[in-house]
Structure 1
Amino acid sequence: MTITGIITAILIGAIVGALARLVLPGKQKIGILITIAVGIVSALLGTALAGALGIPTATSGVDWLELLVQVIVAVIGVALVSGLMGRKRSEVTR
């Protein structure tokens, strides 16, 4: 992977993670770096899932359906990570 590919993955991950946090109701107690990490993983998994579902992922423009799948996967990821981190923090403060 080239440096441009790495930077692009980080930017897309940040956007997908941020969109997931906007869509997910309530407050998520996770930091921006974890949001970006979840977004990067979700973007990769979302692309693979979109391809498996038959959604075209290599088009000349913006792949809106692929982006939708990525955001849905990211919402699930942010909810899981936020729930796990929130539970861990609440156990420590008791």
Structure 2
Amino acid sequence: MSKRDEYIETVKHQLDEMNANMNQLEAKAQAAREDARDKYKEELVKMRQQSKLAVAKLDELKTAGEESWDNIVTEMEKVRDAFVHSFRYFRSQL
């Protein structure tokens, strides 16, 4: 397996894990008080959007040519890091 394939597989695994964990947090948010639940729903919508963006960037990464690979990796890492940060913040609020 090439380094490129390993990187793509690693990022895909990370995103899949984050989405699974987000589903667990969503269940916890549903059990929260009503006033907090509304705030959590808003945050979950934002995180779902970040997840979609990360998956789209991963798809772009899979088809990237050698000339654009480095730029897309940099973009992918920024998107992933923002998603991870949002997730950790949300988890700390529950």
Relative to the length of structure 2, the TM-score reads 0.40
The structure with the larger Rg is: 2
Relative to the length of structure 1, the TM-score reads 0.40
Q: Per residue, is there more helix in 1 or in 2?
A: 2
